[in-house]
């Protein structure tokens, strides 16, 4: 499933639910595929997400895959969270909102 994020102060973007739901839980929400944050909850959600990401990501382990040109390079969750972090920051600065729903 795809989750679409929207805010009046930012462009929309989509994330696959297996990436979006853990990020939403890190923000302190239920992790449901539909919801919104606004007001003081934006700053709280942003702080929780940043703190969780800081302790979560680890650098990829070196191994035999480094020599394989076709091997997939894992993408850190903090990298995947970048558009959401930016949207939360912008909405918090502009006293806006961030909402999400299945697409």
* Whole-number Cα distances in Å, 7 to 47, 56, 68: 18, 26, 41
Count of other CB atoms within 10 angstroms of residue 92: 23
In contact, 14 and 95? CB cutoff 8 Å: no
Sign of the Cα torsion 1, 11, 38, 48 reads: positive
pLDDT digits (tens, 9 = 90+) for 12-63: 999 999 999 999 999 999 878 899 999 999 999 999 999 999 987 555 555 5
> How open is the CA angle 91-95-97, to the nearest 5 degrees?
50
pLDDT digits (tens, 9 = 90+) for 58-99: 555 555 555 666 777 888 899 999 999 999 999 999 999 999
Among 6, 36, 11, 8, CA closest to 24: 36
């Amino acid at each position: 499933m795809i989750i679409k994020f929207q805010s009046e102060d930012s462009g929309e973007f989509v994330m696959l639910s297996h990436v979006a739901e853990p990020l939403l839980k890190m923000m302190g929400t239920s992790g449901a595929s539909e919801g919104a944050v606004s007001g003081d909850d934006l700053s709280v959600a942003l702080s929780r997400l940043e703190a969780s990401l800081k302790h979560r990501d680890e650098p990829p382990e070196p191994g035999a895959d480094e020599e394989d040109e076709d091997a997939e390079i894992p993408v850190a969750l903090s990298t995947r969270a970048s558009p959401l972090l930016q949207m939360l920051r912008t909405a918090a600065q502009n006293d806006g909102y961030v909402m999400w729903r299945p697409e």
